[in-house]
Amino acid sequence: MPITTTRRRLLAGSVATLALPAFARAQGAAKPRLTAISQWSAGSDGAAITALGKKFEEKGGVWQHSPVPGFTTEMMNKLRAQIMAGDPPACSQLKGPEIAAWSKIAPTVDLDAVVAAAGYEKVVAPDLAKLHKPAGKWIALPLQIYSTNMLFLSKRALDKAKADKVPVTWAEFNDLAEKMKSGGVNHPVANGGTRPDDGQKFEAALGGISPAAYRAAIMNLDEKALKGPEIKAAFAQVRKIADWMDPNVGAQHFSTNLKRFIDGDMGMMIMGGWAQGVLRNAGFKFEDFVIAPGPSDNSKPVFLLNADAFIFWQRKEADLQAGQTLMAQLVMDPAIQTMYSQITGSIPVRTDVDLSGEGWSEGQRTTAKALKDAIASNQAVLSMAHNMAQENGMTAAMIDVITEYVKNKSIKPEQAATRLAEAVEGAR
């Protein structure tokens, strides 16, 4: 029987939660079943969630996953339609501030007891935990972490440039790009052309120039910071990056050009750690590329944090409640997080997972160390391009400005900074 979520209730902003006792009692009385929606349908993401589903079935559950290919917006449209119809999935992919925003329009499950039983909060970064318990109670569970500003370098492009040193600062990055260009690399910076791709390049530039300015401008939307010199410097760096990209690539997924990257026609790729999983899934070898933290002008790693998570929606059916309990337990399980991250190229949310053994890449170990170092130096910030820093509407307003700037080279950095501040003000 579907949940009795009414349109009036949704619009009124109900934040009711289903507490664990009924949730747990249901587990022993019904065969666990889970209805879930995500945007993960193919490639390493599709392989990872398929593997998770098999684990769910091995535990006796019925796995009913409905992927929505494309970007997060498409997945959200389906989620919105199901909620408005009074038939939300038992859980769905959702992350960042969207968890708090969406929890105001439909009842969610109180996961506090199952989280406490797993000791999960003790092994999750505090800032990340806050996003998943927006009103003080756990309603969503993070599954994997990526840094959006990892730097992937083509070994063949490095050979063409006669370079063997990974750039640490933006000055070193720019110097290597020039060497690649002189060495015959047609496009020293690999690009796809989607909006998140543009957003990632900007956030990597600003975060690398000043994590403090990034936090003030992008996360706290401070007006003075939005008009500050670091924003203009970031746009200036993005202009250099854009000049090294292939102008004939338009609105393509970054994976479209991975062969050109591996072949050395494109040199460096600023991308999330998921690119490792995509590269490996496409048959490329670790010997073909290098993974390193993105440039940071103070030489300490900056970590643009992006964490995928599941939010749990209130359902009355005993089998779905049992499925939610089983899913929550699996998501927090260190063995499941290990399996998932080894498929996708992410790092586990659990800080107690040992990445020294077989199955982990040097890139993942580098990413995990970068996160640890960035937290220690207060340089771990939330990704704007992937809806971790702001809700979807604000993110879209900012990326509109960035994408126009990338495409239209007549716009000056100072003009772009003004437009960004105006866009933020208009979207508040």
Same domain flag for 46 and 138: yes
Q: Which domain holds residue 331?
A: 33-145+307-360
Answer whether residue 297 is part of any domain. Answer: yes
The tally of domains found in the chain comes to: 2
Mean pLDDT of the chain: 90
Same domain flag for 276 and 318: no
Average pLDDT over residues 320-324: 97
CB 79 within 8 A of CB 289: no
pLDDT per position as a tens digit, 43-69 = 888 999 999 999 999 999 999 999 998
pLDDT per position as a tens digit, 269-287 = 999 888 888 898 889 998 9
What pLDDT does 28 receive? 55
Q: What is this structure's pTM?
A: 0.81
Answer whether residue 11 is part of any domain. Answer: no
Q: Give CA–CA dist 403/327, Å, rounded.
A: 38
Whether residue 34 is predicted with pLDDT greater than 90 in this model: the reply is yes
CB 426 within 8 A of CB 244: no
pLDDT tier for residue 163 given thresholds of 50, 70 and 90: very high
CB 309 within 8 A of CB 143: yes
Residues pairing with 309 in the sheet: 142
Written as one string, the DSSP assignment of 50-72 is HHHHHHHHHTT-EEEEEE--S-H
Q: Give CA–CA dist 146/64, Å, rounded.
A: 26
Same domain flag for 261 and 140: no
Q: Give CA–CA dist 182/185, Å, rounded.
A: 7
Whether residue 189 is predicted with pLDDT greater than 80 in this model: the reply is yes
CB 221 within 8 A of CB 213: no
Output the CA–CA distances (angstroms, integers) from residue 57 to 32, 68, 90, 314, 328, in the order listed.
9, 21, 16, 22, 14
Same domain flag for 285 and 254: yes
CATH number, domain at 270? Answer: 3.40.190.10
Same domain flag for 89 and 57: yes
